[in-house]
Amino acid sequence: MHTDLFPSRWPPAHPDRIQLYSLATPNGKKAGIALEEVGLPYEAHRIDIMEGDQFDPEFVRLNPNSKIPTLLDPNGPGGEPIAIMESGAILHYLARRTGKLLPTDPRGENEVLQWVFFQVGHVGPMFGQFGHFYKFAKGKTDDYGQKRYGAEVTRLLGVIEARLEDRDYLVGEYTIADIATVPWITSLEFYEGKDYVGYADFPRVDAWVQRVLARPAVQRGLEVCGF
């Protein structure tokens, strides 16, 4: 066991288990949900990004970009430890490692990954910027930011609404694509911006969100490394 890999500030009680370093932000929730869904034993360590925990040198050693979530699997490929940064990569790793939440055929896997990257490249950045300007920067600048990003959030909700016209989940069956995206949709509640972006105009999106939130593993995962 490579015990030198574990940050001494967050020592593991069970060093043979996956170690998750996270906080229950939208991106952090993705990792917690995925771990609960696949059923692998893990330990969770709360990284307080408001206090700058992510800049601790031992954390940076695992994640050079100083972001949560970060995962350390002591039993990675070939039995060797592996540290993984970026929530989308963590979801893909856990799905491949367990054979769950991801089709095994190349066509199906690629379809899921397209929607994971749709979240990573569009939903997360745009929803996050909207939340910043609509809630946290309100009164500190003009309304350009909330208008620009609010319009893009509305457009993205429309993309998802159309996608769900003939299916219950983004790729038919429940996959890491849904896990990646739903925490960002629910962030609109935290940002107090649902009315601004016209959320009520997307009933299929809301029905899908409620379908995912009803899963017991999702409910547990949302609480991992909570505030």
- How many domains does the chain contain in total? 2
Pairing of strands 82-85, 70-73: antiparallel
**pLDDT tens string 169-190:** 999 999 999 999 999 999 999 9
CA-atom Rg of the chain in angstroms: 18
What backbone torsions phi and psi does residue 173 show, to the nearest 5 degrees? -95, 165
Domain membership flag for residue 12: yes
Q: How many whole angstroms separate alpha carbon 171 and alpha carbon 112? A: 6
pLDDT at 1 over 60: no
Domain membership flag for residue 201: yes
Write down which residue in 82, 101, 120 finishes a domain. 101
Whether 119 and 181 have beta carbons less than 8 Å apart is answered as yes
- Give, for 129, the enclosing helix (H) or strand (E): helix 124-131
> Which residue from 51, 52, 54, 33 is spatially nearest to 42, judged by alpha carbons?
33
Domain membership flag for residue 174: yes
Q: Average pLDDT of 194-206?
A: 98
pLDDT at 102 over 70: yes
Average per-residue pLDDT for the chain: 96
Judgement on whether residues 114 and 190 belong to the same structural domain of the protein: yes
Domain membership flag for residue 223: no
Judgement on whether residues 195 and 142 belong to the same structural domain of the protein: yes
pLDDT bucket at 2, cuts 50 / 70 / 90: low
pLDDT at 83 over 70: yes
Give the pTM: 0.96
Output the pLDDT for position 27: 98
**pLDDT tens string 9-26:** 999 999 999 999 999 999
DSSP string of 95-128, one letter each residue:
HHHHT-SS-SSHHHHHHHHHHHHHIIIIIHHHHH
Output the pLDDT for position 40: 98
DSSP string of 155-219, one letter each residue:
HHHHHHHHHGGG-SSTBSB--HHHHHHHHHHHHHHHHT-TTTTTGGG-HHHHHHHHHHHTSHHHH
Judgement on whether residues 79 and 114 belong to the same structural domain of the protein: no
pLDDT at 5 over 90: no
CATH code assigned at 180: 1.20.1050.10
pLDDT at 3 over 90: no
**Structural domain harbouring 84:** 3-101
Whether 182 and 212 have beta carbons less than 8 Å apart is answered as yes
Output the pLDDT for position 227: 77
Q: How many whole angstroms separate alpha carbon 115 and alpha carbon 147? A: 25
pLDDT at 58 over 60: yes
Judgement on whether residues 74 and 123 belong to the same structural domain of the protein: no
Judgement on whether residues 13 and 95 belong to the same structural domain of the protein: yes
Write down which residue in 101, 118, 139 finishes a domain. 101
